[in-house]
């Protein structure tokens, strides 16, 4: 097999372990991050808000409920981005929940070993989202930071889910399973999806053999303890 340079990759900036360890300072410039694709997700500096990249435009769903366009000079502590060129598209005509959506997505890829980027434009009975508040130094661990997150259930809405599905073995490096953020069709509200019920929708997705990680060059990252046996439980609790 010949391995060549590959523009077709999911690129992740920092890791879930780093977030769990409290590395919330924005260390990646958004201008640089968005050069790696057109769809994705992340979180804001100091963990403030839930970042959504859709069709090359970057938004932050702030904890007070406002959705704002981000600026190229904004810094983010974590982001996951894909050069999205979906090769699988299908319609969902029946009502399904989050688990049903995961089953549909993974069955279409026919592998539990690849990374998947996806975009789902749909009509929803509800989308339950969360938005993390801005953290102050000294930063609390992630599990404590999200304990006071803002949660909202948006009922009877249309909008887009953007994000990824990752195999279980990468839990900690990224979020294993489904990790999607929501933005409504009016670009007024959004957040990290905790749960959902979709009436119908259009799924576009693409599987990736190439997952690229950019680690922070910060002093904080170099010195962080990233081996915590509780991290798996923390991710399941915080990101589920």
Give CA–CA dist 141/136, Å, rounded.
Answer: 11
Q: Which residue is nearest to Zn ion (CB)?
A: 192
Quote the least distance from Cβ 182 to Zn ion, whole Å.
10
Quote the least distance from Cβ 54 to Zn ion, whole Å.
14
| Contact predicate 23/225, CB 8 Å | no
Quote the least distance from Cβ 171 to Zn ion, whole Å.
14
Residue 130 touches Zn ion, criterion: CB under 5 A: no
- Tell me the H-state helices in the chain: 16-20, 30-33, 98-109, 142-145, 219-223, 231-239
Quote the least distance from Cβ 132 to Zn ion, whole Å.
9
Segment contacting Zn ion by CB under 5 A, of 18-26, 94-102, 191-199, 223-231: 191-199
Segment contacting Zn ion by CB under 5 A, of 57-65, 83-91, 112-120, 187-195: 187-195
| Contact predicate 179/166, CB 8 Å | yes
Pick between residue 126 and residue 199 the one whose CB is nearest to Zn ion. 126
Residue 192 touches Zn ion, criterion: CB under 5 A: yes
- Beta-carbon contacts of 50 under 8 Å, excluding residues fewer than 6 positions away, are 41, 43, 44, 60, 61, 129, 130, 131, 132, 181, 190, 191, 192
Segment contacting Zn ion by CB under 5 A, of 55-63, 78-86, 108-116, 189-197: 189-197
Pick between residue 152 and residue 199 the one whose CB is nearest to Zn ion. 152
Main-chain dihedrals φ then ψ at residue 212, nearest 5 degrees? -110, 135
Pick between residue 139 and residue 199 the one whose CB is nearest to Zn ion. 139
Three-state DSSP at 146 gives helix
Which neighbouring-strand residues pair with 59? 52, 69
Quote the least distance from Cβ 68 to Zn ion, whole Å.
17
Pairing type for strands 177-184 and 150-166 reads: antiparallel
Pick between residue 45 and residue 192 the one whose CB is nearest to Zn ion. 192
Quote the least distance from Cβ 51 to Zn ion, whole Å.
8
Residue 98 touches Zn ion, criterion: CB under 5 A: no
Q: List residues near Zn ion by CB under 5 A.
A: 192
């Amino acid at each position: 097999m010949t391995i060549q340079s590959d523009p077709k990759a999911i690129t992740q900036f920092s890791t879930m372990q780093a977030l769990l360890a409290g590395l919330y300072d924005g260390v990646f410039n958004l201008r640089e991050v968005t050069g790696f694709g057109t769809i994705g997700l992340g979180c804001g500096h100091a963990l403030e808000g839930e970042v959504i990249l859709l069709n090359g435009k970057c938004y932050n769903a702030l904890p007070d409920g406002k959705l704002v366009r981000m600026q190229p000079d904004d810094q983010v502590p974590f982001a996951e981005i894909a050069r999205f060129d979906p090769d699988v598209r299908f319609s969902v005509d029946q009502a399904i929940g989050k688990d049903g959506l995961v089953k549909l997505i993974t069955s279409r890829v026919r592998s539990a070993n690849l990374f998947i980027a996806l975009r789902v434009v749909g009509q929803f009975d509800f989308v339950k989202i969360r938005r993390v508040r801005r953290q102050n130094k000294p930063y609390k661990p992630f599990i404590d930071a999200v304990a006071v997150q803002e949660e909202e259930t948006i009922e009877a809405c249309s909008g887009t889910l953007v994000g990824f599905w990752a195999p279980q073995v990468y839990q900690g490096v990224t979020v294993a399973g489904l990790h999607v953020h929501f933005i409504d069709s009016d670009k007024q509200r959004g957040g990290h999806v905790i749960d959902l019920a979709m009436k119908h929708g259009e799924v576009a997705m693409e599987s990736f053999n190439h997952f690229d990680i950019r680690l922070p060059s910060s002093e904080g990252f170099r010195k962080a303890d990233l081996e915590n046996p509780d991290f798996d439980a923390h991710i399941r609790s915080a990101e589920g």
